[in-house]
Amino acid sequence: MLVRVAESLYWIGRYIERAECLNRYLRVHYFSTLDANMYENKDFVLRSILYMFQTEWSLKHGLSETDIYKEVLCNSANPLSIASMVCATRENARGIRNNISTELWETINKWYFFVKEEQQAPFNVGKIFPCSSQHRTYLSLIRSDIHNTLLQDNVWHFIMLGILVERLQQIIKMLKSKISDYTILSENGRNESLLLFQYIVLLKCVEAYDLHTAQNRGRMMSLSSIFELILTNGLFPRSLNFIVNNCQFHFQRIIGKPIDDESIEKSFTLIIEKINKFTRSDDEESILKLLDEVDEWSVNIHTKISELFF
Amino acid sequence: MIDIFSDYESKIVGFDELMNDKENGLLHYQIIIDLLQEMSLDDFKAMSDLAKISFLSQGVTYALYDKGGQSTEQIFPFDLIPRIILEHEWEQISKGVKQRNLALNMFMQDAYNEGKIFKEKIIPEELIYTSEHYCKQMVGFTPKGNIYNHISGTDLVRHSDGNYYVLEDNVRNPSGVSYVLTNRIAMQRVLSPLFKQARVVPVDNYADKLVQALWSVSGRPLGEIFCVLLTPGLYNSAYYEHSFLAQKMGIELVEGNDLVVKDGFVYMKTIGGDIRVDVIYRRIDDDFLDPLVFRKDSMLGVPGLMTCYLKGNVTIVNAPGTGISDDKAVCSYVPDMIKFYLDEEAIIPNVPTYLCSRPKELAHVIENLATMVVKPVDMSGGYGVTICDQLSRQELEEVRVKITANPRKFIAQPKIMLSTHATYIDDDEIFEPRHIDLRTYSIFGTNGQFVLNGGLTRTALVKNNLIVNSSQGGGSKDTWVLKKQL
């Protein structure tokens, strides 16, 4: 496989995952403000969205709620917006058009034209749900095309590797964001239900709310049950444990054999061990420490992928 | 109910394909007329929109450049009413195009080697040496299989007399073939019942024929051949076509940076190491192929590529230097080449062409400038074409000055009235005659020649416009070669 093609596939994976995470985060948070308690804390929610958007709250302070949602969803002049992710996905896909299936290409292309159309029309907050739902639909179709219309060879492995590396970084960011929100609200002496609501929002952001409820039927929702699910549950596709294990799988498949480079193999083993052995899911400080370590690992593994393959 | 002929006839200027058929008893377009009569204009518009959506989602787009050099992505305008060519007419066109390609190939072999045609004074030698596309590196070199113009696009027009004429040859990087194939896909999706009634010959074998031709000039055993398509990248106006063809042929689409020269061979850089490349179907111009030999500032090519090529270690398709046959002044000599090399008369005549480099012909052109179409010899895509009867006196004078200052750079042709064809005009919601031409696509390998059935019918969308190129706002139609009824 061409080096350029491998790199584009990897970045397609990263961009679609980033768009999906941001889209989900935005939708969940927007709906959280429709609840009376949270509406009073609207700025707080917007600050949280901007954190995921990698933008300082102070830079956007004074902008209306509509402006901020529009910026995140539709402004393709801002490279961090969902619209920009869509354009970047399409640009990468176009550059390697002959390496991906017609079905996948056409879905990505339709997604792009949907964004272009949305940009033409005036924006209001009433558009957040339909727009975000459409993104979700396109992303689901893209995932389906990735899994069902490509050979599960290096083309697929590179996209999956991109998805997983990005997912790891986005999940860590969501976790940190919610821990930070929880801490700020606690310090301000907000009521218990508002605090708990932050973790409900977190579960919804990783689409695990129903799953968590089903797993913990008959028990009170607790910090440890939430974090156990998102950090260490090896069966949950958005848990750190699942993501890192699958990164290793795709990495090994691309190499075609168990990884020669001992330091990489060791780094996978170490981080998997660290996540598996983590038992302090009720302690925010310990969680944050683990998140920092996994975050640093994710940056290193990205560098290693670039060095080895691109 | 759509009556295509309502107020149609009064708008015809010259030869109209549909009206010609009608006058002959509407034998071939009848199924289309019948279909239209069964539907409302809204039905037709809905079908037309469906076809457009199909192009959009497939990404069948091209870049249109404005005067400031900015490009925007456009859908290639497509008209649902197909152009019909009868099988016996097509057989003649196909024969004529093959004859032309063969003669042009022999000419290039001769021009870069013995130069017999110059010695015999059939073509003035200086015409070749002064061509912008003359490639001195090719002198004394013969490509594998002795083939230069592996892929050709011949532009034909049908004049008021109903006969086909050759307007020009495109033997560098003729583009547009992907539109032939995607037009057919769109038509079959939208108008499938018509295909059940008409016996339309297929076009879907082009990519197979092309890759077979690439293999045939590789000089390597089947199974060991590695071919790539070299593109300037995704900002090129024909990028869609490059990726489409690479995918259909099952070969890698590469950019210059994906290739590297080592020890006289070309390799493709992959994550598993370098792979030797045997054939490069390049879709970039000679000037950009190799910065060590041609333009130093080229970021699109591969440094050292020409050295590998001249050692016979890689095949470049089409061969560098084929542009000498693309020169519109040289085109006028093709009938002479056919006579000289094949001892045959040209099956398809040329549009009469005056070479401004010849003093007598220049005088004739200047004297009759107002009736001429003036073209630069070295440009394609309809760029630089001047239709003089549309100019003011001052503009005409400017053209005269330009030609006399550099006569070698121009040819002139009498204004040929391209035939017209019924075309649906979106803005006015009516069917009107619009000028069309026909670009045929041929492939030439050591395994023989192949001409794609039908080719691309390009249609001007502006009333009375004679320039049909997509770069000038033209559109296209599906071209049906109809098999004889059993």
Name which residue leads in pLDDT, A60 or A262.
A262
Residue from B270, B277, B281, B302 whose CB has the most chain A CBs within 10 Å, to mutate = B270
Nearest to A98 among B243, B255, B272 (CB): B243
Region A244-268: mean pLDDT is 83
Q: Dump pLDDT digits (tens) for A118-144.
A: 988 899 988 999 999 999 999 999 999
Nearest to B270 among A1, A102, A254 (CB): A1
CA angle B82, B438, B237 (to 5 degrees): 95
Q: Is the pLDDT of residue B318 over 80?
A: yes
User: What's the pLDDT at B28?
Assistant: 85
Name which residue leads in pLDDT, B375 or B319.
B319
The pLDDT confidence band at residue A257, using thresholds 50, 70 and 90, is low
Nearest to B234 among A94, A110, A113 (CB): A94
The pLDDT confidence band at residue A265, using thresholds 50, 70 and 90, is confident
- Taking any CB pair shorter than 8 Å as contact, residues of chain A touching chain B are 1-4, 6, 91, 94-99, 102, 105-106, 109-110, 113, 154, 254, 309
For B420, the 3-state DSSP assignment is strand
Name which residue leads in pLDDT, A19 or A187.
A19
Chain A residue with the nearest C-alpha to that of B270: A2
User: What's the pLDDT at B305?
Assistant: 97
User: What's the pLDDT at B458?
Assistant: 94
Residue B392 distance to chain A (closest CA, Å): 41
Q: Do B56 and A113 touch (CB under 8 A)?
A: yes
DSSP B247-310: HHHT-EEE-GGGEEEETTEEEEEETTEEEE--EEEE-S-GGGT-TTTS-TT-SSS-TTHHHHHH
Of A229, A231, A238, A222, nearest to A282 (Cα)? A222
Q: Do B59 and A102 touch (CB under 8 A)?
A: no
Please list, in sequence order, all residues whose beta carbon lies within 8 angstroms of the beta carbon of residue B26, skipping any fewer than 6 positions away.
Answer: B33
The pLDDT confidence band at residue A52, using thresholds 50, 70 and 90, is confident
- Taking any CB pair shorter than 8 Å as contact, residues of chain B touching chain A are 56-59, 233-234, 239, 243-244, 246-247, 252-255, 257-258, 268-272
Nearest to B57 among A91, A110, A309 (CB): A110
Residue from B228, B244, B257, B271 whose CB has the most chain A CBs within 10 Å, to mutate = B271
Residue A151 distance to chain B (closest CA, Å): 14
Residue from B230, B235, B253 whose CB has the most chain A CBs within 10 Å, to mutate = B253
User: What's the pLDDT at B352?
Assistant: 87
Region B323-341: mean pLDDT is 91
Residue from A8, A90, A97 whose CB has the most chain B CBs within 10 Å, to mutate = A97
Of B352, B418, B431, nearest to B17 (Cα)? B418
Q: How many domains does chain A have?
A: 1
Q: Dump pLDDT digits (tens) for B396-444.
A: 889 899 989 988 888 898 888 889 999 998 888 889 999 999 999 999 9
Q: Do B56 and A109 touch (CB under 8 A)?
A: yes
Nearest to A2 among B234, B239, B270 (CB): B270
Crossing angle for the helix pair A42-52 and A154-187, to the nearest 10 degrees: 150
Residue B26 distance to chain A (closest CA, Å): 39
User: What's the pLDDT at A259?
Assistant: 55
User: What's the pLDDT at B381?
Assistant: 64
Query: Which residues in chain A are closer than 8 Å to B257, comparing Cβ atoms?
Result: 4
The per-residue pLDDT of chain A, averaged, comes to 89
- Distance CA(B362)–CA(B412), nearest Å, equals 9
Which stretch of DSSP H or E encloses residue B432?
strand B430-445
Nearest to A97 among B243, B255, B257 (CB): B243
Q: Do B246 and A2 touch (CB under 8 A)?
A: no
Residue A92 distance to chain B (closest CA, Å): 9
Residue B226 distance to chain A (closest CA, Å): 13
Query: Which residues in chain A are closer than 8 Å to B233, comparing Cβ atoms?
Result: 95
User: What's the pLDDT at B226?
Assistant: 96
Q: Is the pLDDT of residue A264 over 90?
A: no
Query: Which residues in chain A are closer than 8 Å to B59, comparing Cβ atoms?
Result: 94, 97, 105-106, 109
Q: Do B271 and A154 touch (CB under 8 A)?
A: yes
Q: Is the pLDDT of residue B485 over 90?
A: no
First to last CA, chain B: 31
The per-residue pLDDT of chain B, averaged, comes to 90
DSSP A40-104: TTHHHHHHHHHHHTT--HHHHTT--HHHHHHHHHH-TTSTTSHHHHHHHHHHHHHHTGGGS-HHH
Q: Count how many pairs of residues, chain A against chain B, have C-beta atoms within 8 Å.
A: 55
Q: Is the pLDDT of residue B349 over 80?
A: yes
Is ipTM > 0.85 here? no
Contacts 24+ apart (CB under 8 A), B356-363: B356/B403, B356/B407, B356/B408, B356/B409, B356/B410, B356/B411, B356/B412, B357/B127, B357/B329, B357/B407, B357/B408, B362/B403, B362/B404, B362/B407
| % residues pLDDT > 70 (chain B) | 96
Q: Do B271 and A3 touch (CB under 8 A)?
A: yes
Range of the domain at A97: 3-309
Q: Dump pLDDT digits (tens) for B27-68.
A: 788 888 888 888 898 999 999 888 888 888 888 876 666 666
Lowest mean pLDDT among A243-252, B192-201, B314-323: B192-201
Lowest mean pLDDT among A104-108, A165-169, A214-218, B344-348: A214-218
Beta bridge partners of B459: B436, B475
Region A210-231: mean pLDDT is 87
Chain A residue with the nearest C-alpha to that of B253: A98
What domains sit in chain B, N to C, each tagged with a CATH number? 1-127+153-201+327-347+417-486 (no CATH), 352-415 (3.30.1490.270)
Q: Do A98 and B270 touch (CB under 8 A)?
A: no
User: How would you classify residue B219: left for phi > 0, otherwise alpha for psi between -120 and 50, otherwise beta?
Assistant: left
Q: Do A106 and B59 touch (CB under 8 A)?
A: yes
Q: Is the pLDDT of residue A258 over 60?
A: no
User: What's the pLDDT at B21?
Assistant: 82
Q: Do B258 and A110 touch (CB under 8 A)?
A: no
For B201, the 3-state DSSP assignment is coil
Chain B residue with the nearest C-alpha to that of A99: B247
Q: Do B271 and A98 touch (CB under 8 A)?
A: no
Q: Do A102 and B58 touch (CB under 8 A)?
A: yes
Q: Is the peptide bond before B318 cis (omega within 30 degrees of 0)?
A: yes
Q: Is the pLDDT of residue B227 over 90?
A: yes
> Residue B67 in contact with residue B462, Cβ under 8 Å?
no
- Distance CA(B150)–CA(B213), nearest Å, equals 8
Nearest to B58 among A91, A95, A106 (CB): A106
User: What's the pLDDT at A297?
Assistant: 96
Chain B residue with the nearest C-alpha to that of A91: B234
User: What's the pLDDT at B376?
Assistant: 87
Residue B315 distance to chain A (closest CA, Å): 20
pTM: 0.83
Q: Dump pLDDT digits (tens) for B121-165.
A: 999 898 898 888 999 999 999 999 999 999 999 999 998 888 999
Chain B residue with the nearest C-alpha to that of A98: B247
Letter string b/e over residues A256-268, b meaning 16 or more CB atoms within 10 A of that residue's CB? eeebeeeebeebb
Q: Do A98 and B59 touch (CB under 8 A)?
A: no
Q: Dump pLDDT digits (tens) for B193-203.
A: 888 888 899 99
User: What's the pLDDT at A262?
Assistant: 73
User: What's the pLDDT at B380?
Assistant: 67
